[in-house]
């Protein structure tokens, strides 16, 4: 009898959706069984799990099997994650890695609902992002759950909306204490105020300027955002589709003032915080404010410094500043070019503000010299626009990539491997814009793409300076219309800036586009040096690159997350970061306001200021 031979079974070929679904099902099963070893084995050896509040009540990234294991040992039982599901499989090209599949996901925890992003390499996770989006039982009143607004009948509180707002404004800070005091009313403070308002957390935003938006209106008149409009939307109220690609500073100021009013953000203008001290026993702050000359003392449980990425304007103490006969001021106080036609102007610095000010002065007839003291990264505005177009553009919106979806995708690249994604991009940028770079180099302009060639984003994250998005000045530097001088400043004389090599630059005006001090300096001014030392450095990743000393932290130091000083938080960055990370900071504050347990995993060691 002839024995029959069955044909070999063809291997099962899974679709990308099926691969992701199978991984998530196995992941959830292992989490449910509390089999942490099995969970860790589902990640590649060089994997990253970035968590924004959902698992860690922190903003933290863990690396490799050991990192996943240690985090889950501390947080799995309390988090109790479940209901992982795929919402969309994405098309994504990853440099130097073939066969990577990406997807957007959703899930739940014991306390909240979350979203995230997964990158599979083979059958293992290379990167995982988990974010908390809302707290169960404490959702925002928006969309289908929005408040009624109308007052019907004679029972209960029949005050009109305007009357209730008037009472709230009159009582907050006097008979009613804010749970959160936000110091700084630029985009960061305003957006956080809107988030807290929507979550029902009593909060007060204070700022020294006369009106919301004045932080932008008072800058030099040619200032525009260098981020395109699609990257800069605010939550709840995106810019209209008629908005300029690059927002002029006065238009942005008007928008922020409107946003503050429409979103009903409790906001005290013309108010300075003079001091803030934390009472360890009462677990609250005593904050002394000057509100238009009136002394007001508040006792919030939490203080958020939303005063930007930097501290106070920095003006180097060059010898001879006291003998210079002309005018001199920091770039933050520059009024614009109108008064300086036919004047000799020396602008010390070569980053964004320096270029913008030089361009406006040149166009107004001034004789302008830029002093470059160190190399600068330059990228054309249209090139930057193209770089982010896949996620933030009209075409991206037409393809269904909303701002929320784009934010998730961009947040899913852990900082440690971000250079791997960015270096190939900026190699193409260098080739695309070679003509400009060659002409700048020929003119003596010192260029760089960052210590490792990773470009604009990493420069900003590592030190917050050292770049210029070209809105027109670079061609003028390259052709000599804006004069260029290189070197360190030795001194000022009665009528000139003198460089270390002896070069004398005649001047009627000196503009110090020399940057700002650290955020830690603001902490020391308001809360004392002991608190500043306790908190340590702010911003930066610990990348051991220029101006970003190690050790490596994995996330931006102290930003949007718990610090070593109880009740002290930081909100900073541009409009895109204000939009995205204000949600995670607001949810952390909301949880504490509602008495939800928030055991923090991964609170970093303090990296001292010295």
Both tokens of 319, joined, read: 């010898």
What average pLDDT does the segment 427-443 reach? 96
Both tokens of 272, joined, read: 């300075």
Q: Which residues does residue 204 pair with via DSSP β-bridges, in sequence order?
A: 181
3-state secondary structure 467-514: EEEECCHHHHHHCCCCEEEECCEEEECCCEEEECCCCEEECCEEEECC
Q: What pLDDT, on a 0 to 100 scale, did the predictor assign at position 3? A: 52
Pairwise CA distance, residues 464 & 393, whole Å: 24
Strands of the sheet with 59-63, listed across from one edge: 59-63, 43-52, 124-135, 112-121, 100-108, 82-90
Pairwise CA distance, residues 262 & 216, whole Å: 19
The segment with the largest mean pLDDT, out of 8-17, 315-324, 541-550, is 315-324
Lowest mean pLDDT among 119-128, 316-325, 463-472, 501-510: 463-472
CB-CB contact of 287 with 302 (8 Å): no
Q: What confidence tens digit (pLDDT) does each residue in 357-383 have? A: 999 999 999 999 999 999 999 999 999
Instruction: Give the model's confidence band at 416: pLDDT under 50 very low, under 70 low, under 90 confident, else very high.
Output: very high
Report whether pLDDT(309) > 90: no
Q: What confidence tens digit (pLDDT) does each residue in 534-552 have? A: 999 999 999 888 888 889 9
What average pLDDT does the segment 519-548 reach? 92
Report whether pLDDT(396) > 90: yes
Measure Cα distances from 114 to 103, 110, 132 in Å.
Answer: 14, 11, 4
Q: What pLDDT, on a 0 to 100 scale, did the predictor assign at position 608? A: 58
Q: How many CB atoms lie within 10 A of CB 483?
A: 19
Q: How many CB atoms lie within 10 A of CB 516?
A: 19
Q: Which residues contact 363 (CB under 8 A, 6 or more apart)?
A: 337
- 277: helix, strand or coil: strand
Instruction: Give the model's confidence band at 68: pLDDT under 50 very low, under 70 low, under 90 confident, else very high.
Output: very high
Both tokens of 20, joined, read: 């992701």
Report domain extents, the chain: 16-135, 164-311+517-593, 327-512
Pairwise CA distance, residues 377 & 449, whole Å: 5
Angle CA(521)–CA(524)–CA(525) in degrees, nearest 5?
A: 85
Instruction: Give the model's confidence band at 307: pLDDT under 50 very low, under 70 low, under 90 confident, else very high.
Output: confident
Fold of 164-311+517-593: FAD/NAD(P)-binding domain (3.50.50)
- 290: helix, strand or coil: strand
Report whether pLDDT(4) > 60: no
Residue of higher predicted confidence among 517 and 576: 576
Ramachandran bin of 502, using left for φ above 0, alpha for ψ from -120 to 50, beta for the remaining angles: left
CB-CB contact of 182 with 560 (8 Å): no
Q: The domain 327-512 belongs to what CATH superfamily?
A: FAD/NAD(P)-binding domain (3.50.50.60)
Q: What pLDDT, on a 0 to 100 scale, did the predictor assign at position 6? A: 56
Q: What pLDDT, on a 0 to 100 scale, did the predictor assign at position 1? A: 45
Pairwise CA distance, residues 261 & 244, whole Å: 22
Q: What confidence tens digit (pLDDT) does each residue in 251-290 have? A: 999 999 999 999 999 999 999 999 999 999 999 999 999 9
Report whether pLDDT(226) > 90: no
CA dihedral 411, 416, 418, 422 (to 10 degrees): 160
- 271: helix, strand or coil: strand
What average pLDDT does the segment 34-46 reach? 98
DSSP state of 138: -
Both tokens of 599, joined, read: 């055991």
Q: What pLDDT, on a 0 to 100 scale, did the predictor assign at position 443? A: 97
Q: What pLDDT, on a 0 to 100 scale, did the predictor assign at position 147? A: 87
Place of tokens 């000139």: 496
85: preceding bond cis by omega (within 30 degrees)? no
Q: Which CATH class is domain 16-135?
A: alpha beta
Angle CA(191)–CA(194)–CA(196) in degrees, nearest 5?
A: 110
Report whether pLDDT(10) > 70: no
Place of tokens 């990253």: 48
Do 327-512 and 164-311+517-593 fall under one CATH topology? yes
Angle CA(274)–CA(321)–CA(483) in degrees, nearest 5?
A: 110
**For the packed helices 249-262 and 187-199, what is the interaxial angle rounded to 10 degrees?**
20
Got the DSSP string for 345-386? EEEE--SHHHHHHHHHHHHTT-EEEEEE-S-BEEEEHHHHHH
- Nearest residue to 189 via CA among 217, 214, 218, 219: 214
């Amino acid at each position: 009898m002839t024995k029959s031979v069955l044909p070999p079974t063809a291997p099962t070929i899974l679709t990308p959706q099926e691969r992701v679904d199978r991984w998530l099902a196995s992941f959830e099963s292992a989490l449910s069984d509390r089999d942490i070893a099995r969970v860790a084995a589902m990640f590649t050896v060089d994997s990253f799990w970035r968590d924004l509040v959902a698992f860690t009540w922190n903003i933290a990234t863990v690396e490799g099997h050991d990192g996943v294991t240690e985090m889950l040992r501390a947080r799995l039982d309390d988090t109790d994650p479940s209901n992982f599901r795929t919402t969309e499989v994405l098309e994504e090209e990853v440099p130097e890695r073939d066969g990577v599949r990406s997807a957007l996901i959703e899930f739940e925890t014991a306390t909240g609902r979350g979203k995230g992003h997964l990158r599979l390499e083979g059958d293992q996770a290379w990167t995982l992002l988990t974010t908390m989006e809302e707290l169960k039982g404490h959702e925002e009143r928006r969309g289908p759950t929005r408040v009624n607004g109308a007052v019907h009948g004679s029972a209960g509180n029949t005050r009109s909306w305007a009357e209730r707002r008037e009472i709230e404004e009159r009582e907050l800070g006097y008979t009613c204490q804010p749970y959160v005091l936000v110091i700084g009313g630029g985009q960061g403070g305003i957006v956080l105020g809107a988030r807290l308002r929507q979550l029902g957390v009593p909060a007060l935003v204070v700022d020294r300027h006369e009106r919301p938006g004045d932080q932008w209106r008072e800058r030099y008149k040619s200032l525009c955002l260098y981020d395109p409009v699609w990257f800069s939307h605010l939550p709840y109220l995106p810019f209209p589709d008629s908005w300029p690609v690059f927002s002029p500073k006065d238009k942005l100021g008007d928008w922020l003032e409107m946003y503050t009013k429409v979103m009903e953000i409790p906001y005290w203008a013309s108010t300075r915080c003079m001091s803030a001290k934390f009472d360890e026993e009462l677990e609250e702050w005593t904050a002394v404010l000057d509100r238009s000359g009136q002394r007001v003392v508040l006792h919030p449980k939490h203080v958020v410094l939303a005063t930007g990425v930097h501290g106070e304007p920095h003006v180097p103490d060059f010898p001879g500043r006291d003998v210079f006969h002309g005018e001199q001021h920091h770039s933050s106080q520059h009024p614009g070019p109108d008064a300086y036609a036919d004047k000799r102007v020396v602008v010390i610095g070569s980053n964004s503000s320096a270029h913008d000010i030089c361009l406006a002065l040149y166009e107004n007839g001034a004789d302008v010299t830029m002093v470059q003291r160190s190399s600068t990264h330059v990228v054309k505005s249209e090139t930057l626009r193209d770089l982010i177009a896949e996620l933030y553009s009209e075409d991206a919106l037409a393809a269904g990539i909303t701002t929320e979806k784009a934010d998730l995708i961009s947040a899913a690249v852990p900082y440690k491997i971000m250079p791997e994604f960015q270096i190939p991009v900026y190699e193409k940028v260098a080739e695309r814009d070679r003509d400009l770079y060659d002409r700048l180099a020929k003119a003596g302009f010192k260029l760089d793409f960052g210590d490792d060639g990773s470009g604009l984003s990493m420069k900003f994250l590592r030190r917050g300076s050292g770049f210029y998005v070209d809105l027109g000045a670079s061609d003028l530097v390259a052709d000599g219309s804006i004069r260029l001088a290189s070197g360190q400043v030795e001194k000022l004389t009665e009528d000139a800036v003198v460089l270390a090599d002896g070069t004398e630059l005649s001047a009627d005006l000196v503009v110090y586009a020399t940057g700002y001090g650290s955020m830690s300096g603001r902490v020391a001014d308001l809360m004392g040096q002991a608190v500043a030392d306790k908190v340590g450095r702010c911003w930066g990743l610990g990348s051991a690159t220029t101006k970003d000393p190690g050790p490596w932290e994995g996330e931006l130091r102290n930003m949007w997350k718990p610090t070593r000083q109880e009740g002290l938080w930081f909100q900073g960055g541009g409009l895109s970061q204000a939009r995205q990370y204000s949600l995670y900071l607001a949810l952390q504050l909301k949880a504490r306001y509602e008495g939800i347990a928030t055991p923090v995993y991964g609170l970093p060691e303090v990296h001292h200021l010295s």
